[in-house]
Amino acid sequence: MTRFGDFRPLCTNTPSYTWCNIFYKHLVDIDSSVLSPSTSDPVGINPKCGIPRVGYEGSISNIANIIACGISIPFVVGLIYIVSRRKAAVGRVELRALFIIYLLTLPFQLLTTGSLLEQGSTALIVLTAIHAGLVVALFSALLANAVVATQVVEDGTMASIVPFSVFTVISFVAGLYVSLDIGLGFTDTLAPGNPQEDLHSIALFILTSVWPAACAVLFLILMIYIVLGVLKEVRPVWFYVVSAAVFVLGQLAWFLLGKVICRGSDQKVDGRFIGTVLETATVGLLYLAWKSITEESWDEDPYYGYS
């Protein structure tokens, strides 16, 4: 029976499920009978379908997701530039920080799900741990952006930036440490529980699944309240609702269609690239939502354009 915190179903049934990289070496070191290691293994733990490591029997890696990440990077860079230009807009600094963190996740996602590095290698574990820390920090920054939008403290000031930064950094460190401890076995405290093949880690599951979902839901609730209840606007709400829907569709495509696409393509692509494209589209929609509630602030600074 699957327990809360078990990663086995995800690592078996979801191709390119990133956090499986963290458990691989631990399983091999503890009991190699659970997992027969190979230098060509795809992302996952005994996956029902996966993309073999690049070079194995002509594999070109998870090329679809690599391309999706490659296209997303300049798109997000463009968004960061546009946000930076809106110097008088509310929440500019905090939203830019959110987009920068998302930008940082993309090259790590390319490396951790691209079937480029050998499973169980220290390099892959460390890169995956950094990726995990960035994802935790990303959703913490998302929630912090909603709090900033309430104007409890003035945005862009030290009273806003310092708590925002501290909260985000703590989230990153938590995700990084938990992932490294599981993957490299610094201590026995966070080691996957018995039976080993269940890949059981409540801490990692909360940080990479529960916390992001909670932050996304709270962000949506807060922004709808601010837009409808405080600003008395309707149009921005649709941007937030559609962004949430697109994000959910991206996750569903990854989790539910990944195996289908993997088998249908003879292990050449999976659903991860759809998730990446839709996640990047979500970021774009968040920008449009923010722009729609701050559009009157574009030229409030009389010196804008001369600085």
pLDDT in tens, the chain (307 residues): 679 999 999 999 999 999 999 999 888 877 666 787 888 999 999 999 999 999 998 999 999 999 999 999 999 999 999 999 988 788 999 999 999 999 999 999 999 999 999 999 999 999 999 999 999 999 999 999 999 999 888 888 999 999 999 999 999 999 999 999 999 988 888 878 777 788 999 999 999 999 999 999 999 999 999 999 998 999 999 999 999 999 999 999 999 999 999 999 999 999 999 999 999 999 999 999 999 998 754 444 443 333 3
**pLDDT at position 253, please?**
94
- Token pair 């005994």 is found at 46
Both tokens of 247, joined, read 């994000």
DSSP percent split of the chain into helix, strand, coil, nearest 5: 65, 0, 30
pLDDT tens sequence across 273-282: 999 999 999 9
> For residue 259, which of 59, 42, 107, 1 has the smallest C-alpha distance?
42
- For the stretch 48-60, pLDDT in tens is 999 999 999 899 9
CA–CA distance, 80 with 284 (Å, rounded to integer):
10
Among candidates 257, 306, 285, which has minimal Cα distance to 49? Answer: 257
A 10 A CB-CB count for 232 gives: 7
145 Cβ contact partners less than 8 Å away, ≥ 6 residues apart: 91, 94, 95, 98, 219
pLDDT, residue 154, reads 87
For residues 238 and 243, what is the distance between their CA atoms, to the nearest angstrom? 8
The 10 Å Cβ neighbour count of residue 299 is: 11
| pLDDT at position 307 | 31
Q: Which amino acid is at 114?
A: G
- In a 3-state reduction of DSSP, which class is residue 188? coil
117 in Cβ contact with 56 (< 8 Å): no
Q: What percentage of the chain reaches a pLDDT higher than 90?
A: 79
pLDDT for 30: 72
Position 64 scores a pLDDT of 97
Q: Distance (Å, rounded) from C-alpha 92 to C-alpha 78?
A: 15
Domains located in the chain, CATH noted: 8-296 (1.20.1070.10)
183 Rama class: left (phi>0) / alpha (psi -120 to 50) / beta: alpha
Tokens encoding 263: 């088998």
Q: How many residues does the chain have?
A: 307
